[in-house]
Each structure stands twice: as structure tokens, then as C-alpha cells.
Amino acid sequence: MRSGRTGVVAALAGALALSAFTAPTARAADTGITVSRIVVNGGKPIVVGTTEVKEPPVTFRITLPPGYSTADPFAYDAEPFLYHGTTPAKGIDSGGLQMGIYTCYEKSDRIADCEGSLYVDPYYRLDSNNDATTWKIGVKAQLFRDDSHLVAEEYLATSGTVQIRRYAKATVDAAPEPVAKGKPITVTGTLKRADWVKHAYTGVADASVQLQFRPKGTTSYNTVKTVRSSSTGALRATVTATLDGDWRWSFGGWSTTGGAVSSADYVDVSGAGGIVREMHARPW
């Protein structure tokens, strides 16, 4: 049964990094509420760009103290949030990230399973590139009387952590097109990532990036070379033309930065004949 408990976007705060995580139980001494089974973003980091709002999913379970029932959704509130700092209360006040809309469903008289999402607006809430780091999971728990008067409130710490990463993107250009078999192909491109101070994408320096090739008529890419990006994020490599196919750049990412794969740039190699076996006979 649906309990009718629906959270609303609270004061959106903070900066975040997130890998979905199941947090240990958080117990509220004053409220008696227990919040457990916290899972954020399905176990993956949250990767945030410069403008797009992210709403990573969150699920959790609320267990109420004796005397309270999930049938009265206005008598309680409990929700996870992300924060920096030494304590949850200080962390949420100085830039924590709270839940957006969420809904709880009754499992029993005192237990409800809840689902919703966090709300991450990079333009207003991520103001430092240092926000691409590990964040802590806290819980805000409240009890109310019939007149909506607050009876008890707790800001609870858990041992759970989450990551937020800066979104990265890559471009590619392979030339000349077409090219004669045996002649050089120069593959260039760029690797950039979100800068939350400038609200723009800036070059990623000294990153290890793979140049990959997919022969015409096949589905898999092979890594041909690994290069390091320049101080401005520029990428460049020269290879010998042997087969028709697609070229792309692939970046695996860092703990602070999401991975990136460029689109494909197809190059027609005159005289190559499109023979995939030749690729295996003459490895890069």
C-alpha cells in the first residue's frame, strides 16, 4: 500500500560525487527512526556536466518507533542527503545535497520502503572543481504532532560514501579522407571536462587516451595506440592506412572525472579491399 508520504525538493544545496552505495543503518536516538538500505544511483558514480540537472535515483527503508504508523505520513519524515564536513548537521547547512520528490510505500504498520531522487544543479550547486570527490551520506529524521508541530529532529551520519565526477567529452578527426593504402593517417581530437567554476568545458591535460579502430564490417574496436593529451587537452597520433573503418578516441576516466568516448570518424582506404583478415595478419 502506498503511504502517501511524498517529499518535496528542499533547499537544494551543495556539491556531490556519487557512486551508488548501500549505506549501513542510521539510528536516530531522539526520534527513534531507523533509515536503512540506502542505495544511490544504482551503484554508479554520478557524473555531472556544466548545465544539465542530474536526478540520481535513491531508495531507502524507514522504520518508525513505537507509537507511530506509516498510515500517518504527516507524522514523520526521514530522508538521505549528501554532505561535506565533519558532522551531518553542519554539512547540510554548508552545501549538502538533498532529496527531490520521493514517495514511500507501506510494508507494515511501522515500515515503509521509499524511492525518489537527489537533485543536482551544477550551475547553482557545484561551485568548485574540488567538489568532484567523495561525499558522505547523512540522514535527516523528524517526528511531528497532529498539528504539524516538530517533536524531534536528528541529522544522522552513516559510514556510506558517494562520488561525484566531472563529465568529460572527446572529439575526433581522422585525415586525409580518402587515403591510399600504406599512406599515413593523422588522427586528432580533444579531451575536455566540465569546469564548475567557469561553467564551461576545458581541456584535460596529461590524460592517457586510447586511439581505437574498428574495421569495416565488424563491431568491435581495437586499441591501436595510447597517447597523452597536451596541456590544452589536444590529442594527436599518426598511423598507417591499411583497412577501411572507423577511428575514435577513448578515455577511461579518473576518480574525479568520468570516462569519454568520441564519435567515430570513418576513413575509406583505397586499395584496402575491406579484408578484415589483413588486419589480423598485420597487427598494429
Query: Are residues 9 and 139 both part of a single domain?
Result: yes
pLDDT at 107 over 60: yes
Q: Name the domain boundary from 166, 198, 227.
A: 166
Chain-centroid distance of CA 1 in Å reads: 32
Cell triple for 67: 507509537
CATH of the domain at 159: 2.60.40
User: pLDDT by residue (tens digit) across 195-211?
Assistant: 999 999 999 999 999 99
Query: Are residues 102 and 234 both part of a single domain?
Result: no
The whole-number average pLDDT for the span 26-36 is 79
Place 283 in a pLDDT band, splitting at 50, 70 and 90: very low
- The amino acid sitting at 142 is Q
Query: Are residues 194 and 142 both part of a single domain?
Result: no
What's the total number of domains in the chain? 2
Place 87 in a pLDDT band, splitting at 50, 70 and 90: confident
pLDDT recorded at residue 100: 87
Query: Are residues 184 and 59 both part of a single domain?
Result: no
pLDDT at 35 over 70: yes
pLDDT at 134 over 60: yes
pLDDT recorded at residue 145: 87
Is residue 58 a contact partner of residue 102, using CB atoms and an 8 Å limit? yes
% of the chain beyond a pLDDT of 90:
71
Phi then psi for 244, rounded to 5 degrees? -65, 145
pLDDT recorded at residue 159: 85
Domain containing 141 equals 2-166
Query: Are residues 156 and 202 both part of a single domain?
Result: no
pLDDT recorded at residue 14: 33
263 or 10: whose pLDDT is higher?
Answer: 263
Phi then psi for 93, rounded to 5 degrees? -75, -25
Q: Name the domain boundary from 126, 150, 166.
A: 166
Q: For all residues of the chain together, what is the average pLDDT?
A: 86
Place 43 in a pLDDT band, splitting at 50, 70 and 90: confident
The whole-number average pLDDT for the span 152-180 is 94
The whole-number average pLDDT for the span 160-164 is 92
pTM of the model: 0.83
Q: Name the domain boundary from 138, 166, 194.
A: 166
pLDDT at 277 over 50: no
Place 251 in a pLDDT band, splitting at 50, 70 and 90: very high
pLDDT recorded at residue 265: 98
CATH of the domain at 184: 2.60.40.730
pLDDT at 278 over 60: no
Is residue 124 a contact partner of residue 99, using CB atoms and an 8 Å limit? no
Handedness of CA 265, 266, 269, 270 (dihedral sign): negative
DSSP string, the chain: -EEEEEE----------EE--EEPPEE-TTT--EEEEEEEGGGSEEEE-SS--B--EEEEEEEPPTT--TT-GGGEEEEEEEE-SSSHHHHHHTT-B-EEEEEEEESSSSEEEEEEEE-B-HHHH---GGGSSEEEEEEEEEEE-TT--EEEEEEEEEEEEEEEEE-EEEEEEEESSSEETTSEEEEEEEEEEEETTTTEEEEPTT-EEEEEEEETT----EEEEEEE--TT-EEEEEEE--S-EEEEEEE---SSB--EEPPPEEE-EET-TT-HHHHHHS--
Query: Are residues 124 and 196 both part of a single domain?
Result: no
The whole-number average pLDDT for the span 44-57 is 96
pLDDT recorded at residue 10: 34
- The amino acid sitting at 230 is S
Query: Are residues 136 and 266 both part of a single domain?
Result: no
pLDDT recorded at residue 127: 87
Place 11 in a pLDDT band, splitting at 50, 70 and 90: very low
Is residue 114 a contact partner of residue 168, using CB atoms and an 8 Å limit? no
Query: Are residues 40 and 96 both part of a single domain?
Result: yes
Place 92 in a pLDDT band, splitting at 50, 70 and 90: confident
pLDDT recorded at residue 273: 53
pLDDT recorded at residue 238: 98
Long-range contacts of 217-226 (CB under 8 A, 24+ apart): 217/274, 217/276, 218/245, 218/276, 221/246, 221/248, 221/250, 222/279, 222/284, 223/250, 224/284, 225/284
